[in-house]
Amino acid sequence: MLKKIGIFLIFFLVLLSSSISAAPAKETKQAAFIKKVYTSQGKTYITVDYVDFLRGEAAARAMREAGECDDQDGDCYPPDDYYIRNVNPKLRTFPLNKNVPIYVQKLHFTYDAPVDTYKKYTPASFKALSTSSKNYIVTDVPYWLTLKGDTITKIEEQFIP
């Protein structure tokens, strides 16, 4: 009798544990500078340096903490109302799925176009851009990485005036 109860309990626990699935990864956004875009064994990778892209009072507070306020009274006025801070120089490398959309704005900016005009790149065309004479667009401006767990689902340039 105890053997039957034990077998039933084991069966029940196995059934219960197989019906419980892990929670899906939460989508997050992270500001970063792209340090390198490369291909290895047919796959495109990016190496990034996470940064804090701050606006408003958070930007002013970070400037104050960094001792970068010019004002005599201690007030801080971030130029163009943003401040980029890098408190951790750790580099992270991610593989890019060939379908990850990458949106670049500054290269295609004109004064008569809306500020939110972006051109969509694939990882392959973005890598080509990174090795062209316009490579500054890849490495000198911040991007927003949309991540689901450790997977990049979208990359979008942050407009800097």
For 19-33, how does the pLDDT look when each residue is reduced to its tens digit (9 = 90+)? 455 567 789 999 999
For residues 79 and 133, is the Cβ–Cβ distance under 8 A? no
Per-residue pLDDT reduced to its tens digit, 97-120: 989 999 988 665 555 555 557 889
Eight-class DSSP state of 25: P
Q: Topology of 24-51+91-161 in CATH?
A: OB fold (Dihydrolipoamide Acetyltransferase, E2P) (2.40.50)
For the cut 80, the answer to whether the pLDDT of residue 11 exceeds it is no
Residue ranges of the domains in the chain? 24-51+91-161, 53-85
Amino acid at 142: P
Collapsing DSSP to helix, strand or coil, 20 comes out as coil
Amino acid at 74: G
Per-residue pLDDT reduced to its tens digit, 78-94: 888 899 999 999 999 99
Q: How far apart are CA 100 and CA 155, in angstroms?
A: 8
Judge if pTM exceeds 0.75. Answer: yes
